[in-house]
Structure 1
């Protein structure tokens, strides 16, 4: 199954989020049988937050020992702490505030009012990642990484045509002049994301069909950043029927 890339199609966004939430809880329990600590990377898109809400609503939520789960972020908007645009604010509301989990297990990216400029904030988050690194890596072992995709094919805050997409030397980068507001952001690099054991990409809506089709057809990741993302063990695209119209038949999986 190494480096397997598959697409799972669901009837609609609601079915997608319910399925992914159930899969996450099951896989996390499995991983906790294998490891002392599980590291999960979150994203802040609409579908990603809906998945967190589904996890929170699940009867199986409290079967997980959350004291052994650590949460990280793939990217963040560089705005003040508590601002409604921040991905972590949405995640806290959807799930994290409802868990019995130590505060030190949650690793938000720095806010713009934390006393650091954008460049220093990127360095600080890279140092936080390194502090929890496994083995001789400068990153934790990312067991599950959730990612969304924009209609332009961007993922995290890696945008088409931006130099950040091509970076191979850093784990975290500052982003300026983002084509989506707010203009200043922090992002994991493609290199960091691709250390993940499992990458789970969520897409819903007809506007996501083109970037998904391009990614699966082997488009350049400089032009379609999601095309360059690949988990070390498995990459699964969880999509609804509207987003699946351009998926090659041989990549459609019947089950996880």
Structure 2
């Protein structure tokens, strides 16, 4: 990634940030459809990610997107039963997806624990297979926009500092059996899969994120700050509120 491909955009509050992410996402998806006929977006969970989805649900501008030609994916998921309130896809359904005319077959839900069973590695392999099928048999689709939250420890998706999965170079999806955040069992895209996205947006709000954001932007070691390794092929955006940006010197 070149320096010119990375942008840091700071917003005055978390509310303004959520609305800005929603507006930017409408434009990006509409542009992708104009260029390629369809769009692939990867959603994230977390407080600010879900707030951005809720803002999009309330925005009249969402009508600029042909939602029947949008594929929806997730960067990570908690390995819990379908419909569990702690699953990212459940939160996305409540905040946004139920308000949109999406095609059911275009909403690519990560396997649930009561469907795939308790084996988190099997769930990861199943999701990797669905991604590969959409990509024509190998790898992952060329995601147009991939959204990531940034944890106070610098984690993205379910790639946490100090874990071997941060350095995974071959697999596109991994099973994470021992997340330091509950619930412990999760599946996650790997950094190489994240890097297939045309645009990666790292979205963070709150002073508790400031140290991790500053370290990620300063190019910290990926093993310590996984967010530092998340980058898009065409652009990487760090979308922050003032509190999250408060330790960034750039």
Q: Scaled by the length of structure 2, what TM-score is found?
A: 0.96
**Structure 1: any 5+ residue segments left out of the alignment?**
250-256
Aligned to 1:253: none
Give CA deviations for 1:160-192 in whole Å, capped at 9, x if unaligned: 000000000100000011100001000000110
Higher relative contact order, chain-length normalized (CA < 8 Å, sep 6+)? 1
3-state SS, counterpart of residue 49 of structure 1: helix
Shift in Å, 1:137: 4.7
Give 2:135's aligned residue: 133
Provide the residue aligned with 1:119 in structure 2: 121
Describe the SS at the equivalent of 2:243. Answer: helix
Distance 2:37 2:82 in 1: 30
The count of corresponding residues between Structure 1 and Structure 2 is: 248
| Cα distance in structure 1, aligned partners of 2:180 and 2:88 | 17
User: Unaligned regions of 5+ residues in structure 2, if any?
Assistant: none
Q: 1:50 to 1:29 in 2, by over 3 A?
A: same
Q: 1:77 aligns to what? A: 78
Give distance in 1, aligned partners of 2:116 and 2:190: 23
Q: Is the 8 A contact 1:2 1:232 kept in 2?
A: no
Counterparts of residues 1-256 of structure 1 (less than 5 Å): 4-116=5-117, 117-133=119-135, 137-249=138-250
Q: Distance in 2 between matches of 1:174 and 1:208?
A: 25
Secondary structure of the corresponding residue to residue 41 of structure 1? strand
Q: Deviations over 1:10-61 (max 9, x none)?
A: 0000011111111111121111100122100001111000000011100111
Cα distance, 1:115 vs structure 2? 3.7
Runs of 4+ aligned structure 1 residues displaced above 6 Å come to: none
TM-score, reference length from structure 1: 0.94
SS of aligned partner of 1:142? coil
